[in-house]
């Protein structure tokens, strides 16, 4: 188990390092940031000065070296657009994204778990197919469209929720439902198959034979055991929701990291893009790592393999 965990952690670190190389390389190819930053009437001298100031005149490996040493010290350069440390700019926006991500994950669970449990118990019935279809439909609709339609119906027509921006509880509802509904299908499938497996086992038959109430059998005996893989998978869903915030935040004008990166792309704000991608990748890798370790912990077959 310890060797497995250690090996997975090393893999995760290599992955994040590789992300930094790719991000650095790719972002340098997106175009010249100075064209956007400097006014059109800027002279060649202004241009050269700025190039030197930002370190864009040095060879790429040197630029990467500076970047990498900076990353280790938590310094990812100054944002070209805000003229402040990129890390600060991104971290300011992070809470909004995390809050939305947590609530969206809870909504995904609230949609997926009851449907998964229900459709496992009533496998093959019409309602099983309908509820499952509802969950899979969520995965089939792009979040930017669901978001726009929710805005149209609940904000514009019914005037129940604000169209966009961030504020009190009512501002969370539409974006969180948009993201949660999209993520629900995966959890639903897992819950359903886990429940199917558990409901088929001997101890459930015994519990039923003892004459326990069906709700006690299903929720206390069966779901308790089926919920482990579901909870493990939820960490993966959470980081996927965070990555997906790029789209949802753009639609809802949510002041989070996702929207920041879309804006930064058009400003060619390298340091901010790098920081966001590094941060998101790190969270993505960490989420997968936690899921793998949790999974290994509950599954002896993996725990004892190495």
Partner 1 sequence: MLDSTIKTKKTLRQIAGVVASLKQVPIVPFATIFVMMVVAITADWIAPHSPVEGNLSISLLPPSWMDGGNLSYLLGTDRFGRDVLSRLIYGARVSMSVACLAITITAALGTLVGLMAGYLGGFIDTILMRLADVFMSFPGILIALILAVVLGPSFTNVVIIVLIILWPRFARQVRGEALSIKEQDFVVLARAMGVSSWKVMWRHIFPNVIPSLAVLVTFEVGWVIILEATLAFLGVGIPPPNPSWGVMIADGRNYLEMAWWISFFPGVAIGLSVFGFNMLGDWVRDRLDPKLRQI
Return residues touching partner 1 (CB under 8 A): 11-12, 14-16, 18-19, 22-23, 26-27, 29-30, 133, 136-137, 139-142, 144-146, 148-149, 151-152, 156, 185, 189-190, 193-194, 229, 239-240, 242-244, 246-247, 250, 261-262, 265, 273, 276-277, 280-281, 284-285, 288
CA 214 to chain CA centroid, nearest Å: 36
Sign of CA dihedral 124, 219, 287, 6: negative
Is residue 209 classed exposed, middle or buried when 0-12, 13-18 and 19+ CB atoms within 10 A define those classes? exposed
Residue 47 or 295 with smaller CB distance to partner 1: 295
Q: How far is CA 264 from CA 79, 195, 254, 268, 269, in A?
A: 9, 44, 15, 6, 5
Q: How far is the CB of 211 from partner 1 (least distance, A)?
A: 32
In the complex, minimum distance from the CB of residue 209 to partner 1, in angstroms, rounded to a whole number: 28
- Residues 50 and 57: their CA atoms lie apart, in Å, by 10
> What's the CA gap between 7 and 109, in Å, rounded?
31
Q: Which of 162, 140, 139 is nearest to 150 (CA)?
A: 162
Q: How far is the CB of 188 from partner 1 (least distance, A)?
A: 11
Give burial (CB, 10 Å; 0-12/13-18/19+) of 255: middle
Q: Which is nearer to partner 1, 21 or 206 (CB)?
A: 21
Q: CB of 170: closest distance to partner 1 in angstroms?
A: 19
Name the residue nearer to partner 1 (CB basis): 217 or 280. Answer: 280
Q: Is the CB of residue 46 less than 8 Å from the CB of residue 38?
A: yes
212 or 297, CB closer to partner 1? 297
Nearer Cβ to partner 1, position 94 or 148? 148
The three-state secondary structure class of 28 is helix
Min separation Cβ 279 and partner 1, Å: 10
d(CA 191, CA 231): 10
Query: Of 15 and 204, which CB lies nearer to partner 1 in the complex structure?
Result: 15
Smallest distance, Å, CB 186 to partner 1?
A: 8
């Amino acid at each position: 188990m310890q060797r497995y965990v250690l090996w997975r952690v090393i893999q995760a670190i290599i992955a994040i390092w590789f992300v930094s190389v790719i991000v650095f390389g790719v972002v340098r190819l997106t175009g010249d940031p100075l064209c956007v930053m400097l006014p059109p009437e800027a002279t060649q001298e202004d241009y050269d000065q700025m190039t030197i100031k930002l370190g864009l005149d040095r060879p790429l490996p040197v630029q990467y070296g500076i970047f990498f040493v900076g990353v280790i010290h938590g310094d990812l350069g100054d944002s070209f657009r805000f003229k402040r440390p990129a890390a600060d700019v991104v971290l300011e926006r992070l809470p909004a994204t995390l809050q939305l991500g947590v609530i969206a994950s809870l909504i995904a669970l609230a949609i997926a778990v009851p449907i998964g449990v229900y459709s496992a118990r009533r496998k093959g019935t019409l309602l099983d197919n309908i509820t499952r279809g509802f969950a899979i439909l969520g995965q089939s609709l792009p979040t930017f469209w669901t978001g726009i339609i929710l805005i149209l119906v609940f904000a514009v027509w019914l005037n129940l929720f604000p169209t966009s921006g961030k504020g009190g509880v009512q501002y969370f509802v539409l974006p969180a439902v948009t993201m949660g509904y999209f993520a629900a299908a995966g959890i639903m499938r897992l819950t359903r198959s886990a429940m199917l497996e558990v409901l088929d086992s001997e101890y459930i038959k015994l519990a039923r034979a003892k004459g326990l109430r069906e709700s006690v059998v299903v929720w206390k005996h069966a779901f308790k055991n089926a919920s482990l893989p579901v909870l493990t998978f939820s960490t993966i869903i959470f980081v996927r929701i965070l990555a997906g915030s790029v789209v949802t935040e753009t639609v809802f004008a949510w002041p989070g990291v996702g929207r920041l990166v879309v804006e930064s792309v058009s400003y060619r704000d390298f340091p901010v893009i790098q920081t966001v991608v590094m941060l998101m990748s790190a969270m993505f890798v960490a989420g997968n790592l936690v899921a793998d370790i949790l999974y290994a912990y509950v599954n002896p077959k993996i725990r004892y393999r190495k």
